[in-house]
């Protein structure tokens, strides 16, 4: 029947609109401006330099004079 085509078209249009709305919402949410920087977050999770040296020694790494592990893929 002809009305099945109309209902199918309306359903496709509604689903397309819902998809575009969800994608637009997520895009705005994930790309908004923020005052948080990655540098501000690292100090919260980093070990102290002494603990980093101990970890490097225990796992076969060497420690440079600048206070960073040498080599590796970090």
pLDDT at 31: 85
CA atoms within 13 A on the CB side of 37: 3
Question: Which residues make Cβ contacts (< 8 Å) with residue 64, sequence separation at least 6?
Answer: 70
Q: If DSSP codes are grouped into helix, strand and coil, which group holds residue 70? A: strand
Is the torsion defined by CA of 27, 32, 44, 51 positive or negative?
positive
Q: Average pLDDT of 7-15?
A: 96
Q: How far, in Å, CA of 27 to CA of 38, rounded?
A: 20
Q: Are 67 and 60 in contact (CB under 8 A)?
A: no
pLDDT at 70: 59
pLDDT tens-digit readout, 32-54: 888 887 777 776 667 788 888 88
pLDDT tens-digit readout, 50-66: 888 888 888 887 766 66
Q: What are the residue boundaries of the structural domains of the chain, listed by start?
A: 39-64
């Amino acid at each position: 029947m002809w009305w099945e085509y109309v209902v199918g078209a309306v359903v496709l249009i509604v689903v397309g609109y819902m998809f575009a709305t969800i994608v637009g919402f997520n895009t705005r949410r994930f790309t908004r401006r923020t005052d948080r920087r990655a540098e501000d977050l690292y100090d919260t999770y980093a070990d102290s330099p002494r603990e980093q040296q101990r970890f490097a020694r225990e796992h076969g790494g060497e420690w440079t004079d600048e206070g960073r592990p040498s080599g590796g893929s970090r």
